[in-house]
Structure 1
């Protein structure tokens, strides 16, 4: 019965996606008409106008400082939330349910909305961006941490309880050491996401590269704006490759090579980063070993922690944070929040807000359909167990990394100039961005299939196409459906943000309402977005469970 209902939901979403493409007027003819605009835009962009080196360094330092502090904040907040959300560390249903609700709400409220609220509370500066990115990240980071805690072996926790260990000792000895690789890998992944998102927040005043790029685009200085966009792309790709290599080394449970950043981190932590043998040998194993001895490995780990604290202190300085703005904002938080309540703009609800909200949903649906058409074939060609030609496989994997590094806001800006204001630009931006997300998930799912079934078919004389369709694709199909639903969930959220640059939908009205200080209207828009996001997330969870 559940599978039938899921099939009906998927069919309805497919029909709605096709209808959205038609309603948004996305077709070959309209794209062909935009060709002349694309040529004209290219002529106005080149040659690129990069800022002076000193200014560029300052922008990069500000951006990385904000992203570093935001990621650190999300980790600090997510750990206790995840501990309360995991069933094996929290026995109370109320506490566990409350933690799960907090995770859902943090993920459901877009970081752009949080930034608007925090700018009103704390004023200009880096603090609103750090808080917005950090709190929104809890929705992803805490969920992954909670899942990782629930997958731990409970034997060590039970042994610590039996030895009379306190709850703090259970966490610091039974949870954190075995969870450390997952903690670091998730934080690095979130750092990548926050770096790309910081560009979006530049449009509401968060400093760094995003703000400089938004100022250039707002004044139609495309040479400077696109030069900054290219630099952001390079920075995102470099960070993605670096953090990706470290994450792979961590999660593989093996020591990385002694060269490069992974090797440096491994030497500092004596195998702690990679979960190597040295780390296992220095980890307490018995129920009585609640306090590990001060070995050389432990000293190195604490030295690494000290280095992290120094990095955070440098980020604090680089972001130019002061306690005065924080304290004054906290004192005025009550009167400030009163501007947002009660929700207003009821006269705009039917005439403007609901129609624009539907446009946002249409953009998400149409982009998911187009994105799946683009991304699934690319993901198949990038899978190592499907595409035996290394050159083809590597080419598509590089393409995925490059597209993944482009913030969708940059794509939206380009398509707005080429196709004009409206939903077409937002749809095309999200569809292209899907290559970076969905293609990677598809390739990973194909590579995780059981190769024994494929080998058996080959041994019986099956062709490569028969092996793929009868064994590989059949095994990966449920994962494909789950990934597409995840893409839809992501696109609905992203469509809201892209509206701030004129890419259609309710995001444009959200930004305008905040600029003219109609904060009661901002609250109404936030509630509408929250309702749609929760509905879509509920459908995605239902379908993923049905096809699992």
Structure 2
């Protein structure tokens, strides 16, 4: 396709520069993408995902609705107790991940690491923790600490380092080096440079990432209920395992409302923290944006020294309204975390006994063994990969038009953009596990419900990424094409879509990574794949098989992550 500038030069009789031939890596990337597309289509067909299959499930929807209605909500006291317990576990887990991720990120970032060996080791630790499913960590910790909140807190907290630590390390490397260099020139030690020149400007990113991870951990807590983590997840698992769909779907509805509320509140705080004043939303969504005003610094600070009334330079910021609000906000965070630790009912004696018993516990998991199920496990792992590929294909096909209509510079008007933004928020708030359970009840056990659940779940994340990328395009290119008389659809194809194509590729690879990780776990509710055998091995105490399955998952996830990182590095 000829660019607008090339068309102008050709019309004026000027020489048009030839587009350089694509490099070998670019060709290889597109070959890989075409291969993944072919594998996704094959997976879609091989899993027997068809309109007939979906229609058969829809026919069972009426029966399912009759079995779940009327919803049977717990008493107010029990519901409040379950909700507070869930929020306490998620809060402590998220706080733990932030506390552990900061030093790891400092060691992992090239700008702050003492040496490259420590930096490489820290990056490797981040990758490994991200690759190990939190469900597997929970299984290990339940063996160590028994029932209670501790296994879930440690599982979610350590697994979260994989995402939180990476984002913190990347953010550190993108910081302005000026303040650190100034502190070094003034004779500050290395840790003084970090505490004064790195942490303060990184603080908005620290809080924003923690809020995002809290949102993810809230969904994860529902999944971990199937292995004994308390709160709403455990109550939901108990209800569904006994086929009490009235109570189970009532609890699922509570989880949905809770996830939507957390998404709206945390999203507004993140928007304010990162200084996106121009992205304030309208209507109900804008209420949360307005509530967050004034509680954070919007990034418009000046480097000019402040002076007291006597004229001397102020060495500490004044206690004005902004500083008082920040102090109150920080105090509220400390109080909330402290209350969550108390509410989680952590038993310190059991915790230290579990730590002391770690060598004996870990011995149960080694050496790994396939338990004479090798062929079956490898076949299930292949099904897991197929679920990830097919669900990503479903998500891409649906998310691109939805994400496009959610972008303000593509949608016909602001009302349409807002409507699709709200749709994306609602889809993101619905945990894939609950979707999988609903599809299983409608369609029966197997990989199809898992693929459909992850496919619909992909719409939330991928649709948001697509919409954000489209809104970040250069509008001048679109205006140039519009000036030549192009229609809205022509502008989208010739100017807007071409600009974000590399970002689209990166988003698709990221979504594929997320879906394959999620597909390894949905099997615990019968949605096909390796997760079923993982849960069964844990139930019959075959921990050596658990380790074998974990190594299989690690091999697949790390291979895909390496491919995804390479693709994103080439196309971005």
**Aligned-residue offset at 1:7:** 1.4
Report how many residues are paired: 537
Matched, 1:343 2:368: yes
Q: CA deviation at 1:364?
A: 0.4
CA distance in 2, matches of 1:502, 1:162: 61
Alignment of 1:82-231 (within 5 A): 82-231=105-254
* SS class of match (2:60): helix
Is the contact made by 1:371 and 1:432 (CA closer than 8 Å) also made in structure 2?
A: yes
Residue number in structure 1 paired with 2:341: 316
CA separation in 1, counterparts of 2:255 and 2:432? 12
- Which residue does 2:356 correspond to in 1? 331
Distance 1:249 1:330 in 2: 41
1:282 CA drift (Å): 7.3
Q: Distance in 2 between the 1:536 and 1:280 partners? A: 48
Specify the alignment match of 1:471 in structure 2.
495
1:275 CA displacement: 3.4
2:64 is aligned to 41
Counterpart-to-counterpart distance in 2, 1:169 and 1:227 = 52
Verify: 1:460 aligned to 2:484, yes or no: yes
**CA distance, structure 2, for counterparts of residue 9 and residue 300 of structure 1:** 51
Alignment of 1:359-438 (within 5 A): 359-438=383-462
CA shift in 2, pair 1:89/1:18, >3 Å: same
Could you list the per-position Cα deviations for residues 74-130 of structure 1 after superposition, in whole angstroms to 9, with x for gaps in the alignment?
100110111111111124110110011011011111111111111111111011101
Alpha carbons of structure 1 residues 412 and 178: separation in structure 2 relative to 1, 3 Å: same
Residues 47-66 of structure 1: pairs in structure 2 closer than 5 A: 47-66=70-89
Does the CA contact (< 8 Å) of 2:272 and 2:293 recur in 1?
Answer: no
Quote the Cα distance in structure 2 between the aligned partners of 1:520 and 1:193.
29
Whether the aligned pair in 2 keeps the contact of 1:124 and 1:205 (CA below 8 Å) is yes
Asked if the contact 2:268/2:292 (under 8 Å) is kept, the reply is: no
Instruction: Give, in whole Å, the separation in 1 of the partners of 2:455 and 2:60.
Output: 20
Answer whether contact 2:520 2:530 (CA < 8 A) is retained: yes
Helix, strand or coil at the partner of 2:198: helix
Q: Which residue of 1 aligns with 2:3?
A: none
Question: TM-score, with normalisation over the residues of structure 2?
Answer: 0.90
Residues 266 and 370 of structure 1: is their aligned pair in 2 closer, same or farther, counting only changes over 3 Å?
closer
* Other-structure match for 2:505: 481
In the TM superposition, residue 262 of structure 1 has moved relative to its aligned partner by 6.2
CA deviations on 1:296-332 (whole Å, 9 max, x unpaired) are 2567645543332221111011111121111110110
Per the alignment, in what secondary structure is the counterpart of residue 296 of structure 1? coil
Equivalent position of 1:542 in the other structure: 566
Superposed, 1:282-293 pairs within 5 Å as 292-293=315-316
Q: Give the distance between the partners of 2:449 and 2:510, measured in 1 at CA.
A: 21
What is the rounded CA distance, in whole Å, between the counterparts of 2:333 and 2:302 in structure 1?
21
Alpha-carbon contact 1:71-1:194 (below 8 Å) kept: yes
**Residue 180 of structure 1, CA deviation:** 0.9
CA positional deviation for 1:30: 1.6
1:9 CA drift (Å) = 0.9
CA shift in 2, pair 1:315/1:261, >3 Å? farther
Please give the root-mean-square deviation of Cα atoms over the aligned residues, in Å: 2.1
Alignment of 1:69-84 (within 5 A): 69-84=92-107
Pairing partner for 1:306 from 310, 327, 331: 331
SS for the counterpart of 2:35 is helix
Q: Which runs of 5+ in 1 are unaligned?
A: 284-288
Once the two structures are superposed, what CA deviation does each residue of 1:204-250 show, in whole Å capped at 9, x if it has no partner? 11101111100000000000000100110010001100110111111
Q: Distance in 1 between matches of 2:531 and 2:545?
A: 12
- In structure 2, how many angstroms separate the alpha carbons of the residues matched to 1:245 and 1:117? 36
SS at match of 2:199: helix
Runs (5+) with no aligned partner, structure 2: 1-23, 308-312
Superposed displacement of residue 391, structure 1: 2.5
Q: 1:532 to 1:428 in 2, by over 3 A?
A: same
TM-score by length of 1: 0.94
Rg (Cα) greater in structure: 2
Structure 1 residues 114 and 265, CA gap change in structure 2 (3 angstroms)? same
Instruction: Return the alpha-carbon distance in structure 2 between the equivalents of residues 326 and 279 of structure 1.
Output: 47
Return the offset for 1:34.
2.0
Q: Compute the displacement of 1:293 (Å).
A: 2.8
CA contact (8 A) 2:449 2:527 kept: yes
- CA separation in 1, counterparts of 2:90 and 2:454? 23
